[in-house]
Amino acid sequence: MEEKISDNIILIGTAHISEESVLEVRRAIETYKPDIVAVELCQRRYDSISKKDKWENTPVTALIKSNNAYFMLAQTFLASIQRKLGEEYGVEPGSEMIAAMQEAEKNHLPVALVDRDITVTLKRAWRMMGIREKFRVVWEFLKAMIGYDEEELEELDLKELMKQDVLSQMMEEFSKIAPSASKVLISERDHYIAQKIYEESKKGKVVAVVGAGHLNGIKKYLQGEKLDANLHELEQVPKKRFSLVKVVEVAIPVIFFGLIAWIIYSTGFDPWNKIKDIFLIWFLIHGILSGIGVAIARGHPLSILTAFVAAPFTSLEPFFAPGWFAGLVEAKLRKPVIKDFQELSKIESVRGFLKNKVIRLLMVVALGNLGSIIGTIIALPWILSLGLG
Domain spans of the chain?
2-234, 244-388
Report the chain's terminal Cα–Cα distance, integer Å. 75
Greater confidence (346 vs 180) lies with: 180
Q: Which residues pair with 36 in a beta bridge?
A: 206
> What is the structure's pLDDT at 62?
58
The Cα 96–Cα 231 span in angstroms is 26
Edge to edge, what strands does the sheet with 206-211 contain?
2-6, 9-14, 206-211, 36-39, 111-113
Closest C-alpha to 167, from 82, 259, 101: 82
CA–CA separation, 313 vs 363, rounded Å? 21
- Concatenated DSSP letters of 72-115: HHHHHHHHHHHHHHHHHHT--TTHHHHHHHHHHHHTT--EEE-S
Residues in CB range of 23: below 8 A, 6 or more apart: none
Q: What is the mean pLDDT of residues 177-187?
A: 78
Closest by alpha carbon to 78, among 40, 111, 131, 104? 40
Q: What is the dihedral of CA 286, 291, 293, 298, to 10 degrees?
A: 170
pLDDT given for residue 4 in this prediction: 85
pLDDT tens for 192-230 read: 999 999 999 999 999 999 887 788 888 888 887 567 767
Looking at residue 37, what is its pLDDT? 94
The pTM (predicted TM-score) of the whole model is: 0.62
Q: Report CA Rg, the chain.
A: 26
Could you give the dihedral angle defined by the CA atoms of residues 372, 304, 344 and 210, in that order, rounded to the nearest 10 degrees? 60
Q: Which are the contacts of 182, defined by CB distance < 8 A and separation ≥ 6? A: 175
pLDDT band of 362, cuts 50, 70, 90: confident
Q: Give the pLDDT confidence of 1-55 residue by residue, as tens digits.
A: 788 888 899 999 887 556 778 888 899 899 999 999 999 888 877 877 777 666 5
pLDDT at 156 over 50: no
Model pLDDT, residue 338: 65
Per-residue buried b or exposed e for 263-288, using 16+ beta carbons within 10 Å of the residue's own CB? beeeeeeebeebeeebeebbbebbbb
What is the model's pLDDT at position 153? 44
Taking the C-alpha atoms of residue 97 and residue 115, their distance in angstroms, rounded to an integer, is 13
pLDDT tens digits for 96-120?
888 899 999 999 999 999 998 877 8
266-282 pLDDT per residue, tens: 766 567 777 888 889 89
The more confidently predicted of residues 306 and 126 is: 306
Torsion 53-56-59-62 (CA) sign: positive
10, containing H or E segment: strand 9-14
Q: Measured in whole angstroms, how far is the alpha carbon of residue 27 from the centre of its chain? A: 35
Taking each helix axis as running N to C, give the angle between helix 19-32 and helix 95-106, from 0 to 180 degrees, rounded to the nearest 10.
Answer: 30
Instruction: Please give the mean pLDDT across all residues of the chain.
Output: 77
